[in-house]
């Protein structure tokens, strides 16, 4: 089992296999004992500070990285 502090700064990979950024913040639902949302610092460009928040239902798996079950478009 992965601890919450280990998830911070993990690489995030979308459904297309694209590395989209790193975990910036985690919102945890203490009542349910599960992650509610994860905020990602997107890898759009060096000086970008754009973030994207994804819900727990959009996360496929968390192991050595966070795998999403959605595609994140970095070209918008």
- For the ranges 4-8, 22-26, 48-52, 61-65, the lowest mean pLDDT is seen at 48-52
Per-residue pLDDT band at 22 (split at 50, 70, 90): very high
Q: Give me the residue spans of the domains in the chain.
A: 4-68
**How confident is the model at residue 62, as a pLDDT?**
95
Reported as a single tens digit per residue, the pLDDT across 28-65 is 999 999 999 999 999 765 566 789 999 999 999 999 99
What class has domain 4-68?
mainly beta
What is residue 73's predicted lDDT score, i.e. its pLDDT? Answer: 87
Q: How confident is the model at residue 74 (pLDDT cuts 50, 70, 90)?
A: confident
Question: DSSP of 23-55, one letter per residue?
Answer: EEEEEEETTTTEEEEEEEEE-S-TT---EEEEE
């Amino acid at each position: 089992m992965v601890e919450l502090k280990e998830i911070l700064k993990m690489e995030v990979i979308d459904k297309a296999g694209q590395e989209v950024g790193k975990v910036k913040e985690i919102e945890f639902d203490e009542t349910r004992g599960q992650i509610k949302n994860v905020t990602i610092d997107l890898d759009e460009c060096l000086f970008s500070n754009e973030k994207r928040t994804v819900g727990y239902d959009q996360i496929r798996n968390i192991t050595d990285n966070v795998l999403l079950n959605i595609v994140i478009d970095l070209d918008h």
